[in-house]
Amino acid sequence: MATWGWGGWFGGGGGARKNDRAKSAILQLRGQLEMLSKREKHLQNQMEEQDGLARKYVSSNKNAAKAALKRKKQFEHALEQTQGQIMTLEREIYSIETANINKETLDAMKNASAAMKQIHGGLTIDKVDQTMEELREQHAIGEEIGEAITQSIGNQGIDDADLEDEFEQLQQEELDNKMLKTGNVPVADVGRLPSAPEAIKGKAPARSQEEDEEEELRKLQAEMAM
């Protein structure tokens, strides 16, 4: 049978305190349990020995065989008592250990409760609600400030007229690109061709469509390179 018992929770006797009744009781019971375990093994050996003698003399010496069986019965009865005592000691060890563990657990929980009371001593639900409300207000103020700063930076130096001029310029560039791809003179460029009276007055003659296209292409390339 197992002989170590339930005392593993408390370790060896060197660590037991003299004023700790629970641990002292455990150590005493384990010592008794060890002695009974040795007795159990001794009785089992005696029973096997007497059984061997009975078998030896069963045919040659009836009286010796019966005497060996009688002693075997006595050892068997003592073994049963010893095993019963072992079970009782193991049960008591387990009970004491369980009670001691329950006590230590309860003490730990009491300490935890006291610590939480100390932590929460200055706190109330009203104080918590007030603090959370103040935090929400500060977050809201921070968001408003961030939005104001963003709007101020984003709108600084922007003129609607400049935006409109830039938009029209992009439209014209897109139209010129389409005309270059199709080979047609952009409608917007017709107004830039010199009139007949201007040519008569000595101004440069109107350029051909191919020259205009080349000129527009050079402008576009110059803009893309910027």
Lowest mean pLDDT among 62-71, 90-99, 153-162: 153-162
Q: What would the mean pLDDT of 146-173 be, rounded to a whole number?
A: 76
Tally Cβ neighbours within 10 Å of residue 86. 20
Residue keyed to tokens 């560039």: 173
pLDDT digits (tens, 9 = 90+) for 110-157: 999 999 888 888 788 888 888 899 999 999 999 889 888 877 665 555
Q: What would the mean pLDDT of 95-119 be, rounded to a whole number?
A: 90
7-117 under CATH 1.10.287.1060, yes or no: yes
Q: What would the mean pLDDT of 43-68 be, rounded to a whole number?
A: 93
Give Cα separations from 85 to 30, 91, 125, 202, 226 (angstroms). 12, 10, 59, 139, 104
Q: What would the mean pLDDT of 67-95 be, rounded to a whole number?
A: 95
Give the side-chain half-sphere CA count within 13 A for 151.
6
pLDDT digits (tens, 9 = 90+) for 1-23: 444 444 444 444 443 453 478 88
Domain spans of the chain, in order of start: 7-117, 163-225
Q: Is 165 exposed, middle or buried (0-12, 13-18, 19+ CB in 10 A)?
A: exposed
Lowest mean pLDDT among 16-25, 61-70, 76-85: 16-25
